[in-house]
Amino acid sequence: MEVNNNFIKSIQPDKINAYKEVLNFIDPELTSTLSKLPKSVAEKIEEIRLRNGKPLMISLGSKDYFVTHNGTLEAEPYNCITIDNKHISRTFQLISNYSIYSIEEELRNGFITVRGGHRVGITGKVVYGPNGVESIRDVSSLNLRIAKEIIGVSNDIMRYIIRKPNTIYNTLLVSPPQCGKTTLLRDIIRNISNGIPSINFRGLKVGVVDERSELGGSYKGCPQNDVGVRTDIIDSCRKHEGIMLLLRSMSPNVIATDEIGDEKDIKAIHEAIKAGVKIISTVHGDGISDILSKPKLKVIISEKVFERIIIIDNENGVGSLQDILDGNSFKSVLR
């Protein structure tokens, strides 16, 4: 059976509405210009960056552009909109819903998740207290990252993850940054949680440790992304602590988390597997040889903990499926 090798492009999300949603959190003066961008451009925007004293910048894929007063894009930062303190302040007020107190906890992490699951990265002057970072003030930069959920993006590869009679293989997704692994993981979670009647797969209870609020995109306790009907999310929690909390409290069949790598993460994964819970996670890497070169990851790969290893790259565009490997033999299961 063939697999769609460019899964990110296979099913398109409602990108233009996601962009318009994010504009609601940006200073109206800037929004009036950003709303002039052609639909064909707006739907491809991944990030909008506001830096105090610098040009207004947007990111499309791997390229950055600067926005002019006429709503056109330039590759060089000349004759473009310059962000000032008023733009930052007004945008920050909209992001916080005019209540800095309400977002103090999130500020400690350096980002805020807003309605729609969009994430806003924040830099400025860090305020320390007895327990470490307490807040960020004198905000100097805001990075609005547009959440673009893609329902169905994992459909073609689920048959390689599902294990009869009704469970899954421990699965690791490997890719360089910004190649779609989090998008793919989110949809795998949805499919595992909901079940897939067409292949007689009943849904499983999934516990998600969403340390950076990128999987569920939870806003005030409610996931903004569709992660399935049998999914419980522990949000803004360190991965190793979240795994143990889920094991103790939610009796999951599967635990999913993004970007493992810490020794504590690996220890917690071992505990989950000993408890009979399946694991699905991601890691940054350029392929199996790259992750085997990293001592902490080499251990868990060598122990054959992960039974399926999905390799993603950007060779044929963002979100290209390179291969799916058997975790024991490292041989492709696609051929």
Burial of 278 (0-12, 13-18, 19+ CB in 10 A): buried
Over residues 192-213, mean pLDDT: 96
Over residues 18-24, mean pLDDT: 95
What dotted CATH number matches 10-145? 3.30.450
Using the predicted structure, report yes or no on whether residue 317 has a pLDDT greater than 80. Answer: no
Q: Which residues have CB under 8 Å from 103's CB, separation 6+?
A: 95, 96, 112
Tell me the sheet residues that pair with 194: none
pLDDT of residue 231: 98
Residue 324 Cα distances to 26, 80, 146, 173, angstroms: 41, 45, 29, 9
pLDDT, the chain, mean: 91
Tell me the sheet residues that pair with 30: none
Q: Are 177 and 284 in contact (CB under 8 A)?
A: yes
pLDDT of residue 7: 54
Question: Residues 98-121: pLDDT tens digits?
Answer: 888 778 888 888 999 999 999 999
Query: What are the structure tokens assigned to 173, written together?
Result: 């997704």
Q: Which residues have CB under 8 Å from 74's CB, separation 6+?
A: 65, 66, 67, 68, 80
Using the predicted structure, report yes or no on whether residue 24 has a pLDDT greater than 70. Answer: yes
First and final CA of the chain: distance in angstroms?
A: 9
Is pLDDT larger for residue 16 or for residue 95? 95
Show me where the domains of the chain are located.
10-145, 155-326
Over residues 123-132, mean pLDDT: 90
At residue 4 the predicted structure's pLDDT band, cuts being 50, 70 and 90, is low
Using the predicted structure, report yes or no on whether residue 11 has a pLDDT greater than 50. Answer: no
Pairing mode, if any, of strands 231-235 and 201-202? unpaired
pTM above 0.75, yes or no: yes
The DSSP line for 240-295 is HHHHHHHHHHT--SEEEES---SHHHHHHHHHHHHTT-EEEEEEE-SSHHHHHTSH
Q: Nearest 5 degrees, angle CA 23-CA 25-CA 31?
A: 40
Answer whether the bond into residue 28 is a cis peptide, omega within 30°: no
3-state SS, one letter per residue, for 178-204? CCCHHHHHHHHHHHHHHEEHHHCEECC
* SS3 (DSSP) at 315: strand
Is pLDDT larger for residue 172 or for residue 261? 172
DSSP 307: S
Q: Are 1 and 159 in contact (CB under 8 A)?
A: yes
Over residues 206-234, mean pLDDT: 95
Question: Residues 239-266: pLDDT tens digits?
Answer: 999 999 999 999 999 999 999 988 999 9
Question: Residues 42-94: pLDDT tens digits?
Answer: 999 999 999 999 999 999 877 999 999 999 999 999 999 999 999 999 999 99
Question: Residues 291-313: pLDDT tens digits?
Answer: 989 888 888 999 999 999 999 98
Question: Residues 150-160: pLDDT tens digits?
Answer: 899 999 999 99
At residue 97 the predicted structure's pLDDT band, cuts being 50, 70 and 90, is confident
pLDDT of residue 2: 55
Q: Of 19-28, 261-270, 288-297, where does mean pLDDT reach its minimum? A: 288-297
Q: How large is the C-alpha radius of gyration of the chain?
A: 21
Over residues 156-166, mean pLDDT: 94
Maximum alpha-carbon separation in the chain:
62
Pairing mode, if any, of strands 171-175 and 278-284? parallel
Q: Are 66 and 72 in contact (CB under 8 A)?
A: no
Nearest to 308 by CA among 285, 267, 278: 278
Is pLDDT larger for residue 54 or for residue 287? 54
Query: What are the structure tokens assigned to 172, written together?
Result: 């690791």
DSSP 209: E
At residue 146 the predicted structure's pLDDT band, cuts being 50, 70 and 90, is very high
Burial of 51 (0-12, 13-18, 19+ CB in 10 A): middle
Percent of residues, the chain, with pLDDT higher than 70: 95
At residue 223 the predicted structure's pLDDT band, cuts being 50, 70 and 90, is very high
Using the predicted structure, report yes or no on whether residue 1 has a pLDDT greater than 50. Answer: no
Identify the CATH assignment for 155-326 out of 3.40.50.300, 2.30.30.40, 1.20.1090.10, 3.40.50.1240. Answer: 3.40.50.300
pLDDT of residue 179: 84
